[in-house]
Amino acid sequence: MTVGLGLDGRGVDDDDDMFREIRMALQLHRGPIIGSPKLDPSQALRLATAGGARLLGKADRLGRLAPGYAADLVLVDLARMTWPWTAPEIDPRDFLVMRAQARDVRTVFVAGRAVIEDGRPTGFDLEAAGRELAARLAATPPPAEIAERISSCSAGTPRASIAAGRCRDSIPTRATTHGRDDGRGIRRHASTRRIGRRAGPAPGCQTPRDERGAEGRPRAPRQEVSQCPARLASSLHA
């Protein structure tokens, strides 16, 4: 079986730190019992280099530093990585896997051409690209579904919560507490009572599943919440 290691899309892992992914693979495959089979750092590094090349069907020209292979090189900042002291007998491959971070990358060559120098891309202006991207995103209207949620909910609801579908057509609840002395102090318990009749989810809003217990009963609220006042009013008077 061919096994390789790579990065997912930026929407899942925004830091793009390949060294961290190698360490994670190494740690996930270590059993809790001393002496159990496990990956070693050199094996994890091969998964991220030669293993990836085999998965791409390019094992004859990628994944190794050898004559005839593409000159794909990554140079890291050893001064930071070794500070303040590192045992001289440590295996360089183990050291790289266990210590390196994305910020340590200083220079990157792809097919012999420098694409990163001193930690910065060589083919474009990073700051200018960032400003252009931010301007384009700010000028792009949200999708219709998200825009509808925004318009149907109160202005106080965070946009991120609305976009994630966490806008709630909450019926106000009154939280009460009672307690009893069990000999070790007062233990407080929360209970709730709904005010009014629930008319179901309002358009553009939904109640998250984690707001309810295993049997569908509402959990004790942290506070009274009404994020869709217009929908709430119609629910109460229905």
Looking at domain 18-127, does it have CATH number 2.30.40? yes
Q: What are the residue ranges spanned by the domains of the chain?
A: 18-127, 144-180+188-210+221-236
pTM: 0.57
123 Cβ neighbours under 8 A, 6+ residues apart:
115
Give pLDDT tens digits for 39-49.
999 999 999 99
Give pLDDT tens digits for 186-213.
444 444 444 444 444 444 444 444 444 4
Give pLDDT tens digits for 108-119.
999 999 999 999
pLDDT of residue 155: 52
Give pLDDT tens digits for 71-103.
999 999 999 999 999 999 999 999 999 999 999
